Each structure stands twice: as structure tokens, then as C-alpha cells.
Amino acid sequence: EKGGYDHYMRKEIHEQPESLRQTLAGRLDVDAGDVDLDVSFPPGFLADLEEIRIVACGTSYYAGRYAARLFEDLAGVRATVEIASEYEFGAGRTPDRTLVVAVTQSGETADTLGAVRRANAAGARTFAVTNTLGSTVTREVDGTAFIRAGPEIGVAATKTFASQVATLAMLAVAVGRDRGALGAADARSVLEDLRGLPGAVQQVLDEEEQVREAAREYGDGEAFFFVGRALGVPVALEGALKLKEISYDHAEGFAAGELKHGPLALVTPETPVLAVLTDGARADETMNNVTEAQTRGAPALGCVSAGDEYDTLDVSFEVPDVGVVEPLVANVYLQLFAYHVANDKGRAIDKPRNLAKSVTVE
């Protein structure tokens, strides 16, 4: 049932080229610079839209953070992301001009359902991005886009994160095109990036041995810091969550620029730093912050765009050129790193202590 893999998590990491193909299948019209997500909004709603508010928890929240930047850049609409359990419809907001997007793999997360209910009560239009047909969230929202990643058994979300981001990126293009904020040529370039995503992820998976070695060499750190900028931030946060969840090691993700505002005090030769140094993640500036950590003796591992080079890195993972989804591809290295660190420690990877796949209490 695990298809020859020791753990569902590793199987699901390796399924990503195929699950992403399913996510994208029949939805990209690259030549026309458009997408078909089979979702409809009332006439004029998108044109008048003032704000997209994404609500989600855990990994889905990080997918939302990635997407918010895409909504702002591609769809020209203000986009905010809130941890679902913290979400309230504050004064000064305009419910009738707001789209609340719930991102939830299971469609059953109580915190996220609670946020959707508060949004509905405030009069906002609600939308779900989920993996699960017939899930509770689909019955509570005005519209749904399915991410089609297939069943995910491992408690740690992996392939569903990739498919969430890909689906939200398509939604951003659709909204941008509808609002006239995104020209056909720019849309085409994003869709080409998305079309290249499954192949790029496969190239990363082919480098698993390099990650296994890095995990063996650096996996005994006292703590692990993940950093990035722009689209690299949600990936850094997700990389840290994955590692802490399955290895029980202390891991934190930061916006790289924040290192010097506090966390740098924790950096020692025993705290490896993992950095997202790709296109879309302001790599050169991030590298400056990585250097600050290296000066304090920390080993540095980086996910670097193909063709770029940072000579001082201790380990450099190459990320194929796929534009706005490069940080998402870099994330696959971080998934593999978390997996191998946890596996070397003999952890219960598919069922980490204290955690459930679907959290149905608030």
C-alpha cells in the first residue's frame, strides 16, 4: 500500500509530479493566457473586489501566505492571510466586497470552518480550496476549487501543500485576468511556470541522495533556522514546521531580514541555517543575512536557482528555473530534508506524537 516506500510521507513527497499534473490537468490555457478552474462569481463581483482574505491553519496557512503575494502581484487586489482561529471580521472592512478563501486540505478543520462561518455571518462571499470532495467546508461556502492531490495519509502535509499553492496561483491568474489587472503575456509567463512545475519537482526528487547526505551531516543540530524573503518566507515557515513536526527538533522559520532583530542571538555552530535563495525570494539580500549567521559559525544550506552560485554555502541544492513557483520547488528539498533527519532518528514519521491528520476541535 505504501508502494515500496517505508513511509507514506516519502511516498507522497515522490508523488508530487503526478499529483501536480492532476491539479493542473485541463485547467491551463497557456496560449490564451487563461485558466479554467470551473468557478464562477456573480457578475461584477471580481471587478469590485476590495480584498481577498485567506483563512487557514498550519501548512495550509503557509500555502495561503504564498498565494497572498500572488493575488497582490497578479490580480492587483489586496490580499491578507489570517490564522483561521484568529480570524474576525473587523470594523472598517467591506463584507460585500471581500472574498474570504478558506484553504483546507481535509475540509474538516474546525478552526477553519469556524472562520468560514464568521465570514458568512458577516455577509462576505466565501470560497474553499480543498482536497476533499463532499467535505464539510464545501457545503458552507459559495464556491470551491479542488486541488486534486489524491489522498494524503501522512500527518505531515506534503503533496497537498504543492497542489494548494498551484491551485491558488491559477485562481490568482483567473481573478487577475477577469479584473483586467493581468495582461495576456504576463499571464502566459505564469502559466508556463506552472506547466513546468511537475517536471521541476521531479528534477529535485532525482537529487534525493544529496539531501540524504546533508541530513546525515547536519541533522544533529541543536536547532534549525529556515529563512527566506518574499515567496521564500512561507516556504521557510513550512520547512520549519515540517522538520519540527516529524523530527521533534527545534526549528523556526523567519523572514531573513528579521534574523538580526533577535533570532541571531540563538545562532551558533550547532544551528544549521536553511535558506531559500531562488528567484522570487530576493536571493541576494537573503544571502546577506545567511552570511551574518555564517559569521557566527552556523553551517548554511541553500536552495539556489539553476545558474546562480553562492560559493560560501556548505550545501547548495539546485532549483530548476520555473519563475514564480521556484520557491515552491525549493520546498521539496526541505520536505526531503525533514524526512531524512526524522528517519535517521527513527521517528514515527507518518504519525508524529500528539498530532492528528485532521483537527476537528477548536
Query: Which residues, in sequence order, are CB contacts of 53 under 8 Å at separation 6+?
Result: 79, 80, 81, 82, 87, 98, 99, 100, 101, 119, 124
DSSP 341-358: HHHHTT--TTS-TT--SS
151 vs 328: CA distance, rounded Å = 20
Cell of 83: 490564522
The residue range among 37-45, 56-64, 116-124, 255-263 that interacts with ligand M6R, by the rule CB under 6 A, is: 56-64
DSSP 130-159: ES-TT-HHHHHSSEEEE-------SSS--H
212 vs 209: CA distance, rounded Å = 5
Q: Assess 12 for contact with ligand M6R (CB under 6 A).
A: no
In the complex, the smallest distance separating the C-beta of residue 109 from ligand M6R, rounded to whole angstroms, is 3
In the complex, the smallest distance separating the C-beta of residue 137 from ligand M6R, rounded to whole angstroms, is 8
Q: Assess 359 for contact with ligand M6R (CB under 6 A).
A: yes
Residue nearest to ligand M6R according to CB distances in the complex: 58
The answer to whether 358 and 109 are in contact (CB under 8 A) is yes
Cell of 135: 467535505
Q: Which is nearer to ligand M6R, 288 or 358 (CB)?
A: 358
Q: Assess 162 for contact with ligand M6R (CB under 6 A).
A: no
In the complex, the smallest distance separating the C-beta of residue 260 from ligand M6R, rounded to whole angstroms, is 28
Q: Assess 247 for contact with ligand M6R (CB under 6 A).
A: no
Q: Which is nearer to ligand M6R, 34 or 249 (CB)?
A: 249
User: Which residue from 19, 98, 104, 343 is in contact with ligand M6R, where contact means CB under 6 A?
Assistant: 104
CA distance readout (Å), 310 to 92, 269, 303, 332: 46, 19, 10, 20
The residue range among 88-96, 103-111, 285-293, 310-318 that interacts with ligand M6R, by the rule CB under 6 A, is: 103-111
Q: Assess 112 for contact with ligand M6R (CB under 6 A).
A: yes
Q: Which is nearer to ligand M6R, 136 or 289 (CB)?
A: 136
In the complex, the smallest distance separating the C-beta of residue 163 from ligand M6R, rounded to whole angstroms, is 11
59 vs 61: CA distance, rounded Å = 5
357 is a catalytic site residue = yes
The residue range among 154-162, 212-220, 252-260, 285-293 that interacts with ligand M6R, by the rule CB under 6 A, is: 154-162
Q: Which is nearer to ligand M6R, 58 or 239 (CB)?
A: 58
Catalytic residue among 2, 345, 351, 357: 357
Cell of 201: 519537482
Pairing of strands 28-29, 34-35: antiparallel
Q: Assess 105 for contact with ligand M6R (CB under 6 A).
A: yes
Q: Which is nearer to ligand M6R, 107 or 232 (CB)?
A: 107
Q: Assess 126 for contact with ligand M6R (CB under 6 A).
A: no
Q: Furthest-apart CA pair in the chain: how many Å?
A: 58
Per DSSP, 266 falls in state: G
The residue range among 45-53, 100-108, 186-194, 259-267 that interacts with ligand M6R, by the rule CB under 6 A, is: 100-108
> Cβ of 189: how many Cβ atoms within 10 Å?
14
Residue numbers of the site for ligand M6R (CB under 6 A)? Answer: 57-60, 104-106, 109, 112, 155-157, 241, 245, 358-359
Active site residues: 357
